[in-house]
Amino acid sequence: MKFTIRVNGVEHTREVEPRLLLSDFLRHEIGLTGTHVGCEHGVCGACTILWDGAPVRSCLAFAVQAEGHEIRTVEGLAPGPGQLNPLQQAFRDAHGLQCGYCTPGILMTMTAFLEENPKPDEAQVREALSGNLCRCTGYQHIVDAVLLASQA
Amino acid sequence: MKPAPFAWHAPEDLAAALALKAQHGGEAQFLAGGQSLVPAMNFRVAQPAVLVDLNRVAALDSLAFDAEGTLRVGAMCRYRRIERDAEVARRLPLLVEALAEVAHPQIRNRGTLAGNLCHADPASEMPAVMLALEARFRLCRHDGERVLPARDFFLGPLATALAEEEMLAEIQIPALPPGTGTGFLEVARRRGDYAMMGVAAVLRRGPEGRCVAARLALCSAGPTPMLAERAAASLVGTRLTAEDFAAAAALAVAEIDPMGSVQASPAYQRHLAGVLVPRALALAAERAA
Ligand code: FES
Ligand code: FES
């Protein structure tokens, strides 16, 4: 079926099957491969995107359901090519990533989190991070990065 | 990890949704938040031929207290809306306390209470909380409706009293009488995981401080959410002391029927119940003061 979706402020019209997951649509239909796919059953958080501003699992929604909603992916964070936004810069400065597989999902989760809690404490950051798995960092540097961004 | 093909319908009103379900029967499934159904479809454990997507039925995204103080939660009301509602937090703190244990914010941003209840996972917190709060469920079909107490809704693991044509359209949670205190506690491997054991306690004190009503409901404690009725009855008339809680816990441990999982043996689950029941009761008693 034909449908239109808005991603990072840009409209895309495509003909897709209803069973196409939003995560696969973003990656394969419009080439936004920054959204990663880990588990495809809602556990790992790698595929987290913002749906009308709220972080959700893109592997647990069908692309056609997103019509009429505002979708934001990691590609929508940087102010321009070759640039990083303050949260991304903090991840770089605090070594908040190693392989980077989990990072786009964590950035999207934390973007929404910091909008609501601009000055969080460490416990709040850890709680907010609980829905995103990282196999590399042991989380400490991610927590550091988010706290660093909140001080900027 | 990709869903099997299905026909997708996204009606905009309840009557159309119910008509579609009546037309397609067991071939069709309602899709609410999708946080249980879509994973099952990705695994192809679930392969509905028809999906009746309720996300565009605006009237089902409702959350309000009625004149009697009963909270009415529509089928498309997402967890996030409930947990952020100040009035719900004030009048039904048990609901909000237990919601914090349900998965993660990303899941709660989309998941719905009604969808969770229809999934009927006995390890899930919400079915037990519905028993503790004596919720009623309004089940609608194209040609009628009925209201069922929560305790008659859960029949077994992933099995409910819903008929093929029915939708859980509304959850009704009655007001807690004055003097009532509630508490929810669970033990899980990690934050947001399913509980290995969870306990919801509701206690009411009379004018002299004695307990006049008690309810205890447990999750991960049997094939359905479990009411520990003998344990609760033992508390009525007591002064709600630590000894009373220990006696109730012993009864509750005998009443439940934990099934065990990769994370916890039935014996360990019973041990957890023995630890959590007195703590949840103490919490509720303190708040009932
Ligand atoms: S890929 Fe969506 S949560 Fe893991
Ligand atoms: S940096 Fe490798 S999974 Fe997180």
Residues B235 and B166 in one domain: no
Residue nearest to atom 3 of ligand 1 (CA): A42
State the nearest Cα–Cα gap between A74 and chain B, in angstroms: 16
Residues B80 and B23 in one domain: no
pLDDT digits (tens, 9 = 90+) for A97-145: 999 999 999 999 999 999 999 999 999 999 999 999 999 999 999 999 9
Residues B283 and B227 in one domain: yes
pLDDT of residue B218: 98
Write down which residue in B117, B149, B173 finishes a domain.
Answer: B173
List of domains in chain A: 2-76 (3.10.20.30), 86-151 (1.10.150.120)
pLDDT of residue B190: 84
State the nearest Cα–Cα gap between A126 and chain B, in angstroms: 10
Residues B216 and B284 in one domain: yes
**Domain assignment present for B111:** yes
Which H or E element spans position A14?
strand A10-15
**Phi first, then psi: what are they for A142, rounded to 5°?**
-70, -45
pLDDT digits (tens, 9 = 90+) for A74-95: 999 999 999 999 999 999 999 9
d(CA B86, CA B75): 20
Beta carbons of B110 and A17 less than 8 Å apart = no
**Domain assignment present for B104:** yes
Which H or E element spans position A70?
strand A70-72
* pLDDT greater than 80 at residue A152: no
Residues B39 and B109 in one domain: no
pLDDT > 70 fraction of chain A, expressed in percent and rounded:
100
A68 ligand 1 Cβ < 6 A: no
Interface check for A55 against chain B (CB to CB < 8 A): the answer is: yes
d(CA A138, CA B45): 33
Taking chain B, what is the end-to-end CA distance rounded to the nearest angstrom? Answer: 51
Kindly report each contact of residues B261-267 with a partner whose C-beta sits within 8 Å and lies 24 or more positions away, as own/partner. Answer: B261/B123, B261/B196, B261/B220, B263/B189, B263/B196, B264/B196, B264/B197, B264/B220
User: For residue A43, which ligand has an atom nearest its CA?
Assistant: 1
pLDDT of residue B289: 78
The total number of residues shown for chain B amounts to: 289
**Domain assignment present for B234:** yes
Task: Give B 49-88 residues with CB within 8 A of chain A.
Answer: 51, 53, 55, 80
Strand, helix or coil for residue A113: helix
CATH code at position B284: 3.30.390.50
Beta carbons of B106 and A65 less than 8 Å apart = no
Question: What is the tally of structural domains in chain B?
Answer: 3
pLDDT of residue B210: 97
**Domain assignment present for B253:** yes
List chain B pLDDT tens, one digit each, 289 residues: 699 999 999 999 999 999 999 999 999 999 999 999 999 999 999 999 999 999 999 999 999 999 999 999 999 999 999 999 999 999 999 999 999 999 999 999 999 999 999 999 999 999 999 999 999 999 999 999 999 999 999 999 999 999 999 999 999 999 999 999 999 999 999 888 889 999 999 999 999 999 999 999 999 999 999 999 999 999 999 999 999 999 999 999 999 999 999 899 999 999 999 999 999 999 999 999 7
Pair A56, B108: CB distance under 8 Å? no
**Domain assignment present for B64:** yes
d(CA A49, CA A125): 18
**Domain assignment present for B2:** no
Residues B281 and B201 in one domain: yes
Burial of A84: CB neighbours in 10 Å, binned 0-12, 13-18, 19+: middle
Residues B230 and B276 in one domain: yes
d(CA B79, CA B36): 13
**DSSP character string of chain B:** --PPP-EEE--SSHHHHHHHHHHHGGGEEEESS-TTHHHHHHTTS---SEEEE-TT-GGGS-EEE-TTS-EEEETT-BHHHHHT-HHHHHH-HHHHHHHTTSS-HHHHTT-BHHHHHHHT-TT-HHHHHHHHTT-EEEEEETTEEEEEEGGGTEEETTEES--TT-EEEEEEEPPPPTTEEEEEEEEESSTTSPEEEEEEEEEEE-TTS-EEEEEEEEESSSSS-EE-HHHHHHHTTS---HHHHHHHHHHHHHH------SS--HHHHHHHHHHHHHHHHHHHHHHT-
**Domain assignment present for B112:** yes
pLDDT of residue B194: 87
Domain that holds residue B25: 7-53
Kindly report the average pLDDT of chain A as a whole number.
97
pLDDT of residue B191: 81
pLDDT digits (tens, 9 = 90+) for A20-42: 999 999 999 999 999 999 999 99
**Domain assignment present for B241:** yes
Residues B74 and B169 in one domain: yes
